[in-house]
Structure 1
Amino acid sequence: MRRLYGLPRVSAIVELKETKMPKLKTKSGVKKRFKLTATGKVKHGVAGKRHRLISHNAKYIRQNRGTSVLADADVAHIKAWAPYGLK
Protein backbone atom coordinates (compact mmCIF):
# COMPACT_ATOMS: atom_id res chain seq x y z
CA MET A 1 0.00 0.00 0.00
CA ARG A 2 1.29 3.40 -0.91
CA ARG A 3 1.61 6.00 1.82
CA LEU A 4 0.77 9.61 1.10
CA TYR A 5 3.32 11.74 2.87
CA GLY A 6 2.03 14.52 5.04
CA LEU A 7 -1.27 12.77 5.80
CA PRO A 8 -1.86 10.52 8.78
CA ARG A 9 -2.63 6.89 8.27
CA VAL A 10 -6.23 5.86 7.86
CA SER A 11 -6.21 3.92 11.12
CA ALA A 12 -5.31 7.08 13.02
CA ILE A 13 -8.30 9.00 11.59
CA VAL A 14 -10.92 6.65 13.00
CA GLU A 15 -13.08 8.55 15.46
CA LEU A 16 -14.88 6.96 18.34
CA LYS A 17 -18.56 7.79 18.01
CA GLU A 18 -20.92 7.26 20.87
CA THR A 19 -23.74 4.95 19.86
CA LYS A 20 -27.23 5.83 21.00
CA MET A 21 -30.36 3.76 21.09
CA PRO A 22 -32.95 4.91 18.55
CA LYS A 23 -35.92 6.87 19.77
CA LEU A 24 -39.17 4.98 20.13
CA LYS A 25 -42.28 6.26 18.42
CA THR A 26 -45.50 6.85 20.30
CA LYS A 27 -48.74 5.79 18.64
CA SER A 28 -50.50 9.06 17.86
CA GLY A 29 -53.93 7.58 18.60
CA VAL A 30 -52.86 6.73 22.14
CA LYS A 31 -51.80 10.32 22.79
CA LYS A 32 -55.27 11.54 21.82
CA ARG A 33 -57.40 8.96 23.59
CA PHE A 34 -55.76 8.16 26.93
CA LYS A 35 -54.45 10.01 30.00
CA LEU A 36 -52.62 8.82 33.10
CA THR A 37 -53.99 9.40 36.59
CA ALA A 38 -51.72 10.42 39.46
CA THR A 39 -51.54 6.81 40.64
CA GLY A 40 -50.54 5.52 37.19
CA LYS A 41 -53.90 4.17 36.06
CA VAL A 42 -55.03 4.82 32.51
CA LYS A 43 -58.15 6.93 31.89
CA HIS A 44 -60.20 6.76 28.71
CA GLY A 45 -63.42 8.13 27.33
CA VAL A 46 -66.25 5.64 27.07
CA ALA A 47 -67.23 4.23 23.69
CA GLY A 48 -70.55 4.68 21.96
CA LYS A 49 -71.17 8.37 22.73
CA ARG A 50 -70.44 10.02 19.37
CA HIS A 51 -73.57 9.60 17.28
CA ARG A 52 -76.85 7.63 17.01
CA LEU A 53 -77.72 8.43 20.62
CA ILE A 54 -81.47 8.57 19.92
CA SER A 55 -81.52 4.80 19.63
CA HIS A 56 -80.03 4.45 23.15
CA ASN A 57 -82.11 4.88 26.25
CA ALA A 58 -81.45 7.55 28.87
CA LYS A 59 -79.86 5.12 31.33
CA TYR A 60 -77.20 4.10 28.78
CA ILE A 61 -76.36 7.71 27.96
CA ARG A 62 -76.24 8.70 31.61
CA GLN A 63 -74.03 5.79 32.69
CA ASN A 64 -71.53 6.37 29.89
CA ARG A 65 -70.99 10.03 30.71
CA GLY A 66 -67.45 11.23 31.43
CA THR A 67 -64.38 9.02 31.58
CA SER A 68 -63.54 5.67 33.14
CA VAL A 69 -60.42 3.75 34.16
CA LEU A 70 -59.05 1.16 31.77
CA ALA A 71 -59.02 -2.51 32.79
CA ASP A 72 -55.72 -3.88 34.10
CA ALA A 73 -55.51 -6.41 31.26
CA ASP A 74 -55.35 -3.60 28.68
CA VAL A 75 -52.97 -1.25 30.49
CA ALA A 76 -49.84 -3.10 29.34
CA HIS A 77 -50.74 -2.56 25.67
CA ILE A 78 -51.37 1.15 26.14
CA LYS A 79 -48.14 1.71 28.07
CA ALA A 80 -46.19 -0.16 25.38
CA TRP A 81 -47.67 2.11 22.72
CA ALA A 82 -46.69 5.18 24.74
CA PRO A 83 -43.11 4.37 25.83
CA TYR A 84 -42.39 7.82 27.28
CA GLY A 85 -45.68 8.13 29.18
CA LEU A 86 -48.87 10.02 28.60
CA LYS A 87 -49.53 13.63 29.49
Structure 2
Amino acid sequence: MPKLKTKKSAAKRFRITGSGKKIVRRKANKNHLLEHKTSKQRRRLSNPALVHETNEKEVRLMLPYA
Protein backbone atom coordinates (compact mmCIF):
# COMPACT_ATOMS: atom_id res chain seq x y z
CA MET A 1 0.00 0.00 0.00
CA PRO A 2 1.46 3.43 -0.91
CA LYS A 3 2.16 6.12 1.63
CA LEU A 4 -0.73 8.47 2.38
CA LYS A 5 -0.29 12.14 1.62
CA THR A 6 -0.97 14.63 4.38
CA LYS A 7 -4.04 16.80 3.84
CA LYS A 8 -2.39 20.23 3.97
CA SER A 9 -5.58 22.00 5.00
CA ALA A 10 -5.79 19.75 8.07
CA ALA A 11 -2.08 20.13 8.81
CA LYS A 12 -2.58 23.89 9.12
CA ARG A 13 -5.57 23.52 11.45
CA PHE A 14 -4.49 20.76 13.84
CA ARG A 15 -1.39 19.81 15.77
CA ILE A 16 -0.53 16.77 17.84
CA THR A 17 0.40 17.06 21.51
CA GLY A 18 3.81 15.88 22.70
CA SER A 19 2.46 12.54 23.88
CA GLY A 20 0.78 12.00 20.49
CA LYS A 21 -2.49 11.02 22.18
CA LYS A 22 -4.41 14.26 21.71
CA ILE A 23 -5.07 16.68 18.87
CA VAL A 24 -5.29 20.43 19.43
CA ARG A 25 -7.43 22.84 17.40
CA ARG A 26 -8.32 26.52 17.39
CA LYS A 27 -11.77 27.68 18.39
CA ALA A 28 -14.14 29.19 15.83
CA ASN A 29 -15.60 32.73 15.83
CA LYS A 30 -12.39 34.65 16.56
CA ASN A 31 -11.65 36.03 13.07
CA HIS A 32 -14.01 38.94 12.53
CA LEU A 33 -17.10 40.67 13.95
CA LEU A 34 -15.34 40.84 17.30
CA GLU A 35 -16.64 44.29 18.18
CA HIS A 36 -19.91 43.07 19.69
CA LYS A 37 -18.36 40.11 21.54
CA THR A 38 -17.41 40.59 25.17
CA SER A 39 -13.77 40.59 26.18
CA LYS A 40 -14.49 37.50 28.28
CA GLN A 41 -15.80 35.70 25.20
CA ARG A 42 -12.86 36.82 23.04
CA ARG A 43 -10.42 35.71 25.73
CA ARG A 44 -12.05 32.25 25.97
CA LEU A 45 -11.95 31.86 22.19
CA SER A 46 -8.19 32.53 22.21
CA ASN A 47 -7.42 29.37 24.15
CA PRO A 48 -6.77 26.21 22.14
CA ALA A 49 -9.18 23.29 22.46
CA LEU A 50 -8.88 19.54 22.05
CA VAL A 51 -10.51 17.72 19.16
CA HIS A 52 -13.43 15.68 20.47
CA GLU A 53 -12.91 11.93 20.61
CA THR A 54 -15.75 11.34 18.13
CA ASN A 55 -13.87 13.36 15.47
CA GLU A 56 -10.36 12.21 16.33
CA LYS A 57 -10.34 9.25 13.93
CA GLU A 58 -11.17 11.44 10.90
CA VAL A 59 -8.48 13.96 11.79
CA ARG A 60 -5.87 11.25 12.25
CA LEU A 61 -6.67 9.87 8.79
CA MET A 62 -5.97 13.31 7.34
CA LEU A 63 -2.66 13.47 9.23
CA PRO A 64 -0.81 10.18 8.54
CA TYR A 65 2.05 11.24 10.86
CA ALA A 66 -0.40 11.39 13.81
Q: Normalising TM by the smaller chain, what interval?
A: 0.7 to 0.9
2:38 aligned with 1:63: no
Higher-RCO chain (CA-CA 8 Å, sequence separation at least 6): 2
- Structure 1: runs of 5+ lacking an equivalent: 1-20
Q: Give TM-score scaled by structure 1 length.
A: 0.67
1:50 aligns with 2:31: yes
- Tell whether 2:9 aligns with 1:29: yes
Identity of aligned residues (%): 31
Runs of 4 or more, structure 1, over 3 Å off, are: none
Size of the aligned set, in residue pairs, is 65
Higher Rg of the two aligned structures: 1
TM-score by length of 2: 0.84
Structure 2 SS opposite 1:64 = helix
AA partner of residue 4 (structure 2): L
Find the aligned partners of 2:46 and 2:13 in 1 and give their Cα distance.
15
Tell me the C-alpha RMSD between the 2 structures.
1.2
Residue by residue over 1:27-57, the C-alpha shift from the partner in whole angstroms, topping out at 9 and shown as x without a partner, is: 1111101111123200011111111101212
Would you tell me which structure has more helix in proportion to its own residues? Answer: 2
Structure-2 residue corresponding to 1:7 = none
